[in-house]
Structures are given as structure tokens and as C-alpha cells.
Structure 1
């Protein structure tokens, strides 16, 4: 595996607001990392799909005493991880469910169920899921960086300050 140049992690409550927070984090982080706009857009799309699935399938348990009410003890956790290597941007969403996602064919007139198809397409088939200990799973995707693109170290990075002292 190629060495990681940059990493970022965001811990979230696995509830509907997590989707927007994860998407914003991806946009802000990848822009700061100076990735091309099309990679930022594709990454935001993938993270939106993966986080939406985490919320939908592993998210908060509704309180039976009121519609839409969630007790703090029932809020589940999820997390977003980003890591950049010299050839790919890796994205992972962890949640507390052990149910693995299944890529299914979708009929033309279906109203949903296309999220993993989108992830598979944008990642050129480089995606998957792995169970984690003591609980949960991570669903990941790896987006290729454009040919000839090399990650640049931001000027405000500790790495750039260290290299400028040589």
C-alpha cells in the first residue's frame, strides 16, 4: 500500500444531520488539500451515499413514545475517514451495524437503491466493506486521482515548514 500523505477523521452521531456534516467536511478538507474540483465533487457524492446508508441502516433508534424522538442513549455513532495517497483518495464510513451492504441491480423505474451503483461507478469498482471489532463495519471506496496529479503539501502544513528549513 502506498504511504498516506494526508488523513482526516470526523466522528458523528449517526442521524440525518450527519450526511450534511460529512459532505461539508469532505468539501472543506479536500479543497484545503488542493485536490482537483472533479475529485472533490466525486468524493462528496460518494460520502453522501455512504453516510446516508449508515444513517438509514445503522442510525438512531426511534423512541416508541413519540414520533421522531430520539433518546440520547439510543443515538448510534458513525465516523468518516479520508486518506490520500499518491494515486488515490480513500474514503471510509464506519457505523455500528454489522450488516454488509449489497450491490443490487436496480430497475429503471425504482425510486431509490442506486447509491451503491453510484459509489461503484465513481470508484471504478474499488469499494467494499469490512467488519470491525468489537462492533460495526467500515464501507470504503477509493477514487483514482487524475493521471499525472501529485498531491501538493499546503504552505501552512508542518511538512512544508520542515522542508523549507533544509
Structure 2
């Protein structure tokens, strides 16, 4: 599936505890029906898990800080968009939080905070922009449909604006990611 036709699917989900699992199942169903290879489906599912988790968790944190007595019964929604863009699958997640995603380095023993780092490492491109005509932002990531072994050296060395730089203060590099951390995350995501 090197040059796929432009396909698009959108789903609106409530920010409930089962939303991330539903988003993963929906992603697998849609991408499989489009003929996307299973290894790419798994990668996109991981990205959807991380972005959906942020969409569920972070707007509530912002609202709770803003309100003296937050309503725990109020359910909000977020939207996931899946699309093929020539030689890639793009996932976009809209949520009501206006704060941009933060790429940060966390310790091996930390129980959270790796979401955007995982998105940056596992995607070929990622970024965010303010939502148009509604509150919040959209965070997106792309996964190539062409296996990395077939990508030319020139393409491999280029870096998009959404990718973390190769070095810099406070920015994690792919080479410093502990393999046991990523494997623990993958095991946890697969058990959803």
C-alpha cells in the first residue's frame, strides 16, 4: 500500500475511562478495512492511545484547577480523525485543552508523562495547532506506509518541524530512551 487513495474517518468519543480502549479498537477496525499493514496498524494504535489518553486526562486537569468545585459528572467529548495522506496514515485528536503538548524527559520509574515522547519517537512527523472554530487544539501524528527499510537515506536524515531536534537542552533523544521503558509502555498498551 505505497500510494493509498485519500481515505478519512472521524469518531467523536466521550472522555470516559473506556474511551482509550474504544479508540484503539476503532483504529484497528478502520485501518484494517483500508488494507493498512498490521505492523503499521499497531503503531497507529499506540499513537491513538497516547493522544486519546491526553485528550481525556489533560482537559479535566485544567478544568479542575479553574473551578473551585468541579463537577465530576460532566462528560466532555474529543474527536479522533484517521486519514491516509499519500504514503502515510495521519491520526489527529481534537480536545478542549488549549495548552500545547509538552515533550519532556521523565525518569525510568515515573508512572506517566511519556505520551508525547512516545508520539515523537514512533511517528515520522507530529505537531499541533489551535482548533478552528472551537475551543482547544488538535494534536496530530503521521506514520509512513512505506517500511523504514525502504526509505532513502536522505529522507531518513531529514527532520520535520514537529519532530524533536537531535540534541538540545531538556529535549530527549531517541538514543537515550531506555528500551525497558518503551517495552513496559507497549506491554501496558497491549493489555488494554
- Classify the TM-score, shorter chain: 0.7 to 0.9
Which residue of structure 2 lines up, in the alignment, with residue 91 of structure 1?
91
Which residue of structure 2 lines up, in the alignment, with residue 49 of structure 1?
50
Q: Which whole-Å CA distance do the structure 2 matches of 1:75 and 1:59 have between them?
A: 10
CA offsets 1:93-143 (integer angstroms, 9 cap, x no match) = 10111111100011222222111111111103x111111133111110011
For the 8 Å contact 1:88–1:144, the answer to whether it is kept is yes
Could you say what the CA RMSD is over the residues aligned between the two structures, in angstroms?
2.4
Task: Give the structure with the larger helix fraction.
Answer: 2
Superposed displacement of residue 15, structure 1: 2.0
CA offsets 1:3-29 (integer angstroms, 9 cap, x no match) = 961000001112222111111110000
Q: Which whole-Å CA distance do the structure 1 matches of 2:82 and 2:35 have between them?
A: 14
Q: Which whole-Å CA distance do the structure 2 matches of 1:44 and 1:79 have between them?
A: 15
For the 8 Å contact 1:14–1:58, the answer to whether it is kept is no
Which residue of structure 2 lines up, in the alignment, with residue 35 of structure 1?
36
Which residue of structure 2 lines up, in the alignment, with residue 131 of structure 1?
130
Residues 121/56 of structure 1: CA separation in 2 closer, same or farther (3 Å cut): same
Which residue of structure 2 lines up, in the alignment, with residue 159 of structure 1?
none
Residues 29/106 of structure 1: CA separation in 2 closer, same or farther (3 Å cut): same
For the 8 Å contact 1:8–1:83, the answer to whether it is kept is yes
Where does structure 1 differ by over 3 angstroms across 4 or more consecutive aligned residues? 59-62
CA offsets 1:25-56 (integer angstroms, 9 cap, x no match) = 10000010111110000000000000001101
For the 8 Å contact 2:4–2:87, the answer to whether it is kept is no
The gaps in structure 1 that reach 5 residues or longer are 149-166
Superposed displacement of residue 58, structure 1: 1.4
Q: Which whole-Å CA distance do the structure 2 matches of 1:85 and 1:47 have between them?
A: 17
For the 8 Å contact 1:90–1:143, the answer to whether it is kept is yes
Quick check: which has more Rg, 1 or 2? 1
Q: Which whole-Å CA distance do the structure 2 matches of 1:103 and 1:4 have between them?
A: 32
The gaps in structure 2 that reach 5 residues or longer are 151-192
Which residue of structure 2 lines up, in the alignment, with residue 143 of structure 1?
143
